[in-house]
Amino acid sequence: MTPANEAALDAFLGLVADKGFAAVTLRDVAQAAGLGLADLYRLYPDKVALVAAFMARVDAEVLAGTSNQSDPEETVRDRLFDTMMRRYDALRPHKAALRAIRLGARRDPMLALALGPALRRSMAAMLEAAGVPSDGLAGALRQNGLLALHYAVSRIFDQDDTGDLSKTMAALDGRLKTAERWSQLFDKYVKTPNPQRSSPGPDSPAA
């Protein structure tokens, strides 16, 4: 027997794909899942919680496919490519629901704002799966960068009807190569010593 939380989530995704995000109510979800409204509310108090649960389900599927042993020959870009493609494979059965959720977020800025924390958790999970730290200020910047990349590739993914998601793979590979070049330039800039700061001059207060 399907657990109530999974039944509710499946019902929500089906309804949103069919009717659109804004048109679906918690009462609709409860009825489709065979639950009382109070029972559903205890599991998911609003639709944002249902979307967050969907993202967490996808995250778990991606993480379950992550090897415990890292390949020393793989670059960060290789690992991110593999991780994000597993994510798109997991998302593929839910394209219609995803489009409805994105459309709802574009039309409702408050919804987009509310979904932000769940999106950032997902991107942090993808970074960690690729062996990239996701904490601290640097981690927050990486989350933002991966989220921007994901948004760009998702537009291709939405229209990708190839059997092996080849269009999505090409878009992801190109974006990751660009991100890698920018990261290398940034690292070079940060690590290059500033000759004006390398040692105090004769007129410096520290001299």
Q: What is the per-residue pLDDT for 207?
A: 30
Same domain, 75 and 148: yes
Q: What is the per-residue pLDDT for 186?
A: 52
pLDDT band at 71 (very low <50, low <70, confident <90, very high): confident
Same domain, 68 and 103: yes
Give the range of the structural domain holding residue 15, as residue numbers without chain letter.
1-45
pLDDT digits (tens, 9 = 90+) for 86-122: 999 999 999 999 999 999 999 999 999 999 999 999 9
CA dist 70 and 43 (Å) reads: 36
Total domains in the chain come to 2
Residue 137 within a domain: yes
Work out the burial of residue 199: count CB atoms within 10 Å of its CB; fewer than 13 is exposed, 13-18 middle, 19 or more buried.
exposed
Residue 206 within a domain: no
Q: What is the per-residue pLDDT for 63?
A: 95
Same domain, 134 and 95: yes
Q: What is the per-residue pLDDT for 179?
A: 86
Same domain, 91 and 171: yes
3 phi/psi in degrees, rounded to 5:
-60, 150
Q: Whose CA is closest to 69, among 79, 84, 80, 57?
A: 79
34 phi/psi in degrees, rounded to 5:
75, 35
Q: What is the per-residue pLDDT for 204?
A: 37
The pTM assigned to this predicted structure is 0.84
Same domain, 89 and 180: yes
22 phi/psi in degrees, rounded to 5:
-65, -30
Same domain, 8 and 89: no
Same domain, 94 and 139: yes
Q: What is the per-residue pLDDT for 1?
A: 63
Using a pLDDT cut of 70, give the percent of the chain over it: 87
SS3 46: coil
Residue 88 within a domain: yes
Same domain, 156 and 171: yes
Using a pLDDT cut of 90, give the percent of the chain over it: 81
Query: Domain holding 34: CATH number?
Result: 1.10.10.60
pLDDT digits (tens, 9 = 90+) for 177-192: 998 887 665 555 545 5
User: Looking at residues 49-78, what average pLDDT do you find?
Assistant: 92
**Locate tokens 């974006």: which residue?**
175
Domain stop point among 45, 63, 81: 45
Residue 67 within a domain: yes
Same domain, 87 and 177: yes
